[in-house]
């Protein structure tokens, strides 16, 4: 299946890399990007393998302890919705 990045997912990804550089170090950033690539490969092959979210067709998977990926499975594509920083207020999470 084809993976499509939403604008929010792209923005989140960049912001999380900046955050990890500021608060942690380059090794943590490398680990995050490696894990994100690994998870995306799994999703591409078996998109419904991870935990289902309460919203229809949305799945959730932790990338690293601090960041969780939310994605939507449609007929012929997978849309990455958010790379959510788990330290943020969960009430502000918007999956549109």
In a domain, 42, yes or no: yes
In a domain, 72, yes or no: yes
- The model carries a pTM of 0.92
Domains: count for the chain: 1
In a domain, 28, yes or no: yes
Residue 36: predicted pLDDT: 98
Residue 68: predicted pLDDT: 97
Contact 95, 56 (CB under 8 A): no
Residues lower than pLDDT 70 in the chain? none
CA dihedral in degrees (74, 67, 91, 94; nearest 10)? -30
The parent domain of residue 31 ranges over 2-86
Residue 54: predicted pLDDT: 87
**Distance from C-alpha of 77 to C-alpha of 1, rounded to nearest angstrom:** 5
Residue 56: predicted pLDDT: 81
- Residue 57 is classified by DSSP as T
In a domain, 29, yes or no: yes
**Distance from C-alpha of 47 to C-alpha of 42, rounded to nearest angstrom:** 7
In a domain, 92, yes or no: no
């Amino acid at each position: 299946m084809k993976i499509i990045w939403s604008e929010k997912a792209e923005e989140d990804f960049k912001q999380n890399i900046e955050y990890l550089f500021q608060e942690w170090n380059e090794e943590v950033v490398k680990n995050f990007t490696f894990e994100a690539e690994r998870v995306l490969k799994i999703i591409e092959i078996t998109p419904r393998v991870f935990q289902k979210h309460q919203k229809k067709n949305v799945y959730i998977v932790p990338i690293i302890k601090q960041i969780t990926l939310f994605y939507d499975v449609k007929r012929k594509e997978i849309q990455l919705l958010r790379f959510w920083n788990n330290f943020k207020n969960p009430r502000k999470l918007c999956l549109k």
